[in-house]
């Protein structure tokens, strides 16, 4: 059903809409007021109270008249439920060269019911946006309403699955709910727009991967509605959509924007496979039709890793370690330099920090961990793959020539195995060459057509960017055999950094009209001067950072050349202050730098003992590190050099987990259990996409308000004791299961199969569990004759379908769908019970419907003194649910950021699963005989690193094998001296 203009205005409000779309002085435009030449990028963004203009042309974004290459990383605040740690991740991203963060905002995370929206506590979106501004990061906001993102129902709230209206169309019923959501989220976003100076929100995404209705009027009306709604809510930054592939869907002009032009970007997603050659993705649609030809190349999602399914079928059972291995630094360099060569200047790396799909947040296709093989692992540690991301980010920030590159004439390497992209900046005349090696061995070659007559080596399945004619401060680079990383002026000298693989021989040639006086400050470099050119060479990595100072060549400002291998480059930290730029070398992370008088105050992290070197503005004489003075001297390179190393971290000791207590539950399976307060399941119709079987009531859990976690059913009847078998049809997400009891006697457990590679992304699983009653039970039923009988069923329903194809499949049933009997046909009355009211702190996706959850057994304040003492490992053989609880204390030094995990291990032949609760927070689901996850991150803030903690495990076992838990222990996943202050959640 298409939405009429009248309906839209009734929903959105014409007065506000008209003001937003026709008001004068728009802060965004597709075309800057005049052509923008290459120059310095805009300064680091903050909420400065000033008005800003955001424009773009076909080359790049233009912010306040300056070109900006956007180098963004994806993180999801909802996957890190400790607001203090948001700052930690954002500061790490900024330090490693990212200038923006992209965030999905999940509707289901904020809305437990229609009309109810919660943006407090761990859901405080405004706090996240403020924190991003404080750390100097632009923000790309992606509130959907559909986000995908491997979360339950693609981000749609559970209650939406039981409503009328077709989602992701112009259906008025659906749009009324969308209006509620966007009003709530846009109220916050509009208050943090970079254009207004009240925040750093730079771009805003509408929908995600919406190609199912791209050629239909309903789809066009839907996109037009979302566009107008967002504008009506006061969001004035450029808008965009993320096309699932380079298909041209929702390019500028493809839907009605009520006459507003030049404020819509075309973006598409792409995740090249590691064993494939990276494609040449220009911002052109398939079939040759222009798509966003007047907008810059934009990848809102590009491969920073990959999701992992239950059982780990896709990466061979190796989990995210395999994703990180196959999408390593070389993969990232090969892919992102290819993108840059294809004129793509807006990049978002999905994911840069993956985090944890805690509680019932994950989509069916993924398990608890959303580590993703990302540059920062789930425990917030930097990984080696950051080397390429760090270097590219710093390069894009400090070398403005890359913001406007045109394709130039073809250049070939002497060795044809190297693919060469040749680009030129028409303003500066700098030439850029991206060299890509798609073979399985390193290749060395010259580029005589580019005037490069020394061998340039490109490792196997890797890439390298080199440049000629590039201005580095007050000198010009003739060429280099390794990649430039940054160029800046600190104090009275220009500094240029070149980086590459360990063992590479870096050769850098500078124009020098007069013979210079180079000064070799480390043992490794060498130099030679001939015919106006200075050739400096240095082996990378042999002695850490290698330094050469160049002066006396007729240029008043000295130049410092720094040479670093990948590991060394990860310890180089440029930083911009109001007093000038700094370059810091040594620590594992630089978080902040502030100049007060002649002292620079640095904060950051160290892991091992490390030196410290600081280049900065003139007059700098003193350094502090994390509040403590650092004795220094002035070095020959003009830096302040620490006289003694900064200390490393003392790794904290972790206690053993003992003192366990145990209690069995599932009283719901007993025939005399009081279920009178449960909801009667007697509906006849549903809005689900699953048909109701003839003669059956609606048993679908969502129709009765139970959207997350486990759900119980009790069917009662009188008489008909001749039942010989029961057949239970049910529908779940991946790894769902069903347990059944009749009159308190276990009938058995049925489990959905572990998905193979072909079905790993399947969203809904259906099965029929048939249980033949044993003869002893049939005899007891006959003896009871016309007595009361109870069939009790527990369903682990798992999650809703992602509905990526926009077919309303998120409404597929969860729970029982039909129950039939053999031997008798009793008239059954059904009652259903799931999670009780949503946890006001932890949100609607924390709890399910287990008896222990409903009674608060997972909460730290629960009194478990009457539980039985037990030791682990445990070996039970019982169908049902058993709880285990223990407490432990940590005493981590307040100056140490310790990331702690929980490890569960047992004989993989034992069939059981456990819900893990830390201090009441549902931090994940462990399935012992499926995996691949065994380690669960315990986020600081939820984890009390200085105090008492309560750990509870709700263990479901099918009774066919001995069941644990087995080995349950804490493990240290990372530690650094430094970190950020963490408030308890």
Three-state helix/strand/coil letters over 180-246? HHHHHHHHHHHHHEHHHCCCCEEEEECCCCCCCCCCCHHHHHHHHHHHHHHHHCCCCCCEEEEECCC
β-bridge pairing 462-468 and 452-458: unpaired
Give how far the C-alpha of residue 495 lies from the chain's centroid of Cα atoms, to the nearest Å.
34
Place of tokens 């030049």: 262
Q: Compute the C-alpha angle 653/605/562, nearest 5°.
A: 135
Q: Compute the C-alpha angle 24/28/30, nearest 5°.
A: 115
For residue 174, the model assigns a pLDDT of 98
775 φ, ψ (degrees, to nearest 5): -60, -35
Cα–Cα distance between 457 and 445 in angstroms, integer? 7
Nearest to 639 by CA among 592, 675, 600: 600
CB atoms within 10 A of CB 782: 11
Helix, coil or strand: residue 663: strand
Q: Please give the DSSP secondary-structure letter assigned to residue 647.
A: P
* pLDDT digits 0-9 by tens, 841-868: 999 999 999 999 999 999 999 999 999 9
Per the structure block, which two tokens stand in for 342?
A: 């294809």
CB atoms within 10 A of CB 21: 18
Q: What's the mean pLDDT in 958-966? A: 94
* pLDDT digits 0-9 by tens, 877-889: 999 999 999 999 9
Task: Give the CA count within 13 Å in the CB-facing half-sphere of 646.
Answer: 31
For residue 31, the model assigns a pLDDT of 65
Specify whether the CB–CB gap between 69 and 403 falls below 8 A: yes
Statement: residue 313 has pLDDT above 90: no
Residue 785, Cβ density class (10 Å: 0-12 exposed, 13-18 middle, ≥19 buried): exposed
Cα–Cα distance between 432 and 460 in angstroms, integer? 21
Q: Mean pLDDT check: name the lowest of 23-32, 384-393, 911-920.
A: 23-32
Q: Which residue has the higher pLDDT, 279 or 30?
A: 279
For residue 734, the model assigns a pLDDT of 97
Cα–Cα distance between 166 and 868 in angstroms, integer? 51
Residue 505, Cβ density class (10 Å: 0-12 exposed, 13-18 middle, ≥19 buried): middle
Place of tokens 């931090």: 923
Per the structure block, which two tokens stand in for 166?
A: 């077709």
For residue 720, the model assigns a pLDDT of 79
Nearest to 670 by CA among 746, 729, 726: 746
Residue ranges of the alpha helices (H) in 796-868? Answer: 851-854
* pLDDT digits 0-9 by tens, 440-487: 999 999 999 999 999 999 999 999 999 999 999 999 999 999 999 999
User: Element (H or E) spanning 338, and its range?
Assistant: helix 329-341
Residues 6+ apart with CB under 8 A from 534: 509, 510, 512, 516, 518, 527, 528, 550, 553
Helix, coil or strand: residue 273: coil
For residue 28, the model assigns a pLDDT of 58
Average pLDDT, the chain: 94
Cα–Cα distance between 716 and 713 in angstroms, integer? 10
* pLDDT digits 0-9 by tens, 605-648: 999 999 999 999 999 999 999 999 999 999 999 999 999 999 99
Nearest to 463 by CA among 446, 449, 443: 443
Cα–Cα distance between 847 and 153 in angstroms, integer? 17
When pLDDT is cut at 50, 70 and 90, the band that residue 387 belongs to is very high
Range 595-632 burial, b when 16+ CB lie within 10 A, else e: beeeebebbbbbbeebbbbbbbbeebeebebbeeebeb
When pLDDT is cut at 50, 70 and 90, the band that residue 281 belongs to is confident
Nearest to 513 by CA among 472, 468, 552: 552
For residue 9, the model assigns a pLDDT of 43
Per the structure block, which two tokens stand in for 183?
A: 């009003």
* pLDDT digits 0-9 by tens, 164-206: 999 999 999 999 999 999 999 999 999 999 999 999 999 999 9
Nearest to 893 by CA among 802, 787, 975: 975
Q: What's the mean pLDDT in 822-833? A: 95
Cα–Cα distance between 787 and 394 in angstroms, integer? 77
Residue 885, Cβ density class (10 Å: 0-12 exposed, 13-18 middle, ≥19 buried): buried
Cis peptide before 965 (omega within 30 of 0): yes
Q: Compute the C-alpha angle 543/546/548, nearest 5°.
A: 150
Q: Mean pLDDT check: name the lowest of 3-12, 570-579, 674-683, 908-917.
A: 3-12
Per the structure block, which two tokens stand in for 825?
A: 């046909």
For residue 33, the model assigns a pLDDT of 64
Q: What's the mean pLDDT in 929-955? A: 97
176 φ, ψ (degrees, to nearest 5): -65, -40
Beta strand segments in 850-895, E: 868-869, 879-891
When pLDDT is cut at 50, 70 and 90, the band that residue 764 belongs to is very high
Per the structure block, which two tokens stand in for 155?
A: 């981000």
- Please give the C-alpha separations between residue 856 and each of 409, 852, 853, 926, 952, in angstroms, as whole numbers: 70, 6, 5, 20, 11
Q: Mean pLDDT check: name the lowest of 23-27, 277-281, 725-729, 904-908.
A: 23-27
Q: Which residue has the higher pLDDT, 303 or 662?
A: 662
Residues 6+ apart with CB under 8 A from 787: 718, 719, 721
Beta strand segments in 531-621, E: 533-539, 546-550, 559-565, 572-577, 580-585, 589-596, 599-605, 613-615
Cα–Cα distance between 575 and 315 in angstroms, integer? 38
Helix, coil or strand: residue 375: coil
Angle, helices 217-232/172-189, rounded to nearest 10 degrees: 30
Cis peptide before 932 (omega within 30 of 0): yes
Statement: residue 979 has pLDDT above 50: yes
CB atoms within 10 A of CB 934: 16
- Please give the C-alpha separations between residue 513 and each of 196, 516, 711, in angstroms, as whole numbers: 48, 9, 79
Statement: residue 369 has pLDDT above 90: yes
Statement: residue 820 has pLDDT above 80: yes
For residue 29, the model assigns a pLDDT of 59
Place of tokens 């052509």: 35
Residue 365, Cβ density class (10 Å: 0-12 exposed, 13-18 middle, ≥19 buried): buried
For residue 19, the model assigns a pLDDT of 33
């Amino acid at each position: 059903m298409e939405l009429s203009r009248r309906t839209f205005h009734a929903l959105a409000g014409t007065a506000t809409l008209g003001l937003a779309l026709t008001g004068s002085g728009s802060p965004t435009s597709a075309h800057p007021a005049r052509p923008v030449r290459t120059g310095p990028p805009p300064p680091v963004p903050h909420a400065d109270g000033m008005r800003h203009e955001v424009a773009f042309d076909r080359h790049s974004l233009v912010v306040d008249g300056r070109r900006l290459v956007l180098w963004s990383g994806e993180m999801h605040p909802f996957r890190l439920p400790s607001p203090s740690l948001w700052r930690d991740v954002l500061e790490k991203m900024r330090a490693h060269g990212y200038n923006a963060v992209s965030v999905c905002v999940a509707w289901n995370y904020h809305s437990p019911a229609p009309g109810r929206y919660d943006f407090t506590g761990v859901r405080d979106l405004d706090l996240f946006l403020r924190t991003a501004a404080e750390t100097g990061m632009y923000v790309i906001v992606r509130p959907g309403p559909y986000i995908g993102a491997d979360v339950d129902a693609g981000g749609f709230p559970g209650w939406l699955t039981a409503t009328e209206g077709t989602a992701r169309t112009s259906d008025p019923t659906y749009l009324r709910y969308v209006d509620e959501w966007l009003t709530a989220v846009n109220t916050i976003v509009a208050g943090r727009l970079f254009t207004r100076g009240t925040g750093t929100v730079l771009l805003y995404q509408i929908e995600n991967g919406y190609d199912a209705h791209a050629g239909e009027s309903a789809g066009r009306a839907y996109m037009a509605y979302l566009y107008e709604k967002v504008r009506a809510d006061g969001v004035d930054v450029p808008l965009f959509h993320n096309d699932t592939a380079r298909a041209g869907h929702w390019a500028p002009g493809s839907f009605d924007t009520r006459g507003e032009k030049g404020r819509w970007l075309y973006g598409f997603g792409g995740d090249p496979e590691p064993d494939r050659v990276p494609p040449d993705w220009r911002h052109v649609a398939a079939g040759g039709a222009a798509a966003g030809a007047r907008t810059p190349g934009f990848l809102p999602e590009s491969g920073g890793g990959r999701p992992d399914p239950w059982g780990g079928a896709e990466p061979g059972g190796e989990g995210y370690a395999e994703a990180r291995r196959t999408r390593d630094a070389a993969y990232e360099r090969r892919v992102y330099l290819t993108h840059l060569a294809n004129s793509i200047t807006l990049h978002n790396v999905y994911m840069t920090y993956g985090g944890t799909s805690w509680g019932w947040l994950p989509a069916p296709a993924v398990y608890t961990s959303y580590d993703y093989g990302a540059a920062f692992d789930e425990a917030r540690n930097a990984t080696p793959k950051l080397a390429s991301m760090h270097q590219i980010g710093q390069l894009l920030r400090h070398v403005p020539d890359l913001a406007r590159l045109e394709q130039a004439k073809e250049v070939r390497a002497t060795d044809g195995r190297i693919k060469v992209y040749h680009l030129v900046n028409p303003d500066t005349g700098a030439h850029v060459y991206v060299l890509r090696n798609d073979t399985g061995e390193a290749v060395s070659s010259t580029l005589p057509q580019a005037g490069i007559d020394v061998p340039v080596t490109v490792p196997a399945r890797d890439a390298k960017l080199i440049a000629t004619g590039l201005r580095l401060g007050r000198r010009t680079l003739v060429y280099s055999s390794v990649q430039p990383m940054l160029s800046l002026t600190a104090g009275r000298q220009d500094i240029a950094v070149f980086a590459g693989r360990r063992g590479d021989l870096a050769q850098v040639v500078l124009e020098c009209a007069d013979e210079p006086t180079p000064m070799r400050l480390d043992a490794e470099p060498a130099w030679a001067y001939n015919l106006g050119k200075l050739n400096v060479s240095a082996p990378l990595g042999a002695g850490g950072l290698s330094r050469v100072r160049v002066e006396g060549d007729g240029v008043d400002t000295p130049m410092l050349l720094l040479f670093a291998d990948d590991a060394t480059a990860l310890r180089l930290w440029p930083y911009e202050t109001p007093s000038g730029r700094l370059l810091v070398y040594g620590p594992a992370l630089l978080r902040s730098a502030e100049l007060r008088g002649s002292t620079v105050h640095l904060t950051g992290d160290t892991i091992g003992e490390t030196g410290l070197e600081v280049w900065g503005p003139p007059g700098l004489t003193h350094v502090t590190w994390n509040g403590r003075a650092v004795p220094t001297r002035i070095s020959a390179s003009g830096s302040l050099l620490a006289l003694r190393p900064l200390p490393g971290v003392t790794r904290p000791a972790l206690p053993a987990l003992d003192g366990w207590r145990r209690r069995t539950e599932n009283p719901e399976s007993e025939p005399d259990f009081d279920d009178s307060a449960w909801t009667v399941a007697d509906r006849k119709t549903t809005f689900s996409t699953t048909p109701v079987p003839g003669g059956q009531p609606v048993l679908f859990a969502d129709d009765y308000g139970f959207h997350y976690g486990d759900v119980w059913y009790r069917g009662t009847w009188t008489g008909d004791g001749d039942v010989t078998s029961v057949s239970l049809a049910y529908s779940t997400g991946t790894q769902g299961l069903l347990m059944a009891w009749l009159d308190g006697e276990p009938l058995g457990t049925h489990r959905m199969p572990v998905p193979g590679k072909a079905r790993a992304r399947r969203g809904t699983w259906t099965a029929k569990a048939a249980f033949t009653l044993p003869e002893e039970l049939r005899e007891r039923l006959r003896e009871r004759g016309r007595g009361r009988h109870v069939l009790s069923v527990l369903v682990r329903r798992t999650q809703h379908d992602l509905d990526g194809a926009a077919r309303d499949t998120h409404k597929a049933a969860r729970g029982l769908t039909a129950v039939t009997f053999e031997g008798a046909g009793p008239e059954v009355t059904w009652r259903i019970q799931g999670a009780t009211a949503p946890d006001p702190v932890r949100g609607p996706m924390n709890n399910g419907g287990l008896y222990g959850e409903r009674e608060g057994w997972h909460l730290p304040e629960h009194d478990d003194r009457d539980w039985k003492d037990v030791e682990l490992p445990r070996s039970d053989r019982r169908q049902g649910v058993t709880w285990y609880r223990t407490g432990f204390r940590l005493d981590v030094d307040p100056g140490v950021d310790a990331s702690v995990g929980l490890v569960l291990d047992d004989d993989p032949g034992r069939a059981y699963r456990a819900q893990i609760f830390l201090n009441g927070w549902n931090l994940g689901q462990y399935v012992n005989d499926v995996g691949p996850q065994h380690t669960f991150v315990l986020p600081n803030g939820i984890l009390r690193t200085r105090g008492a903690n309560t750990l509870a495990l709700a263990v479901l076992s099918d009774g066919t094998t001995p069941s644990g838990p087995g080995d349950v222990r804490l493990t240290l996943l990372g530690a650094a001296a430094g970190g950020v202050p963490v408030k308890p959640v």
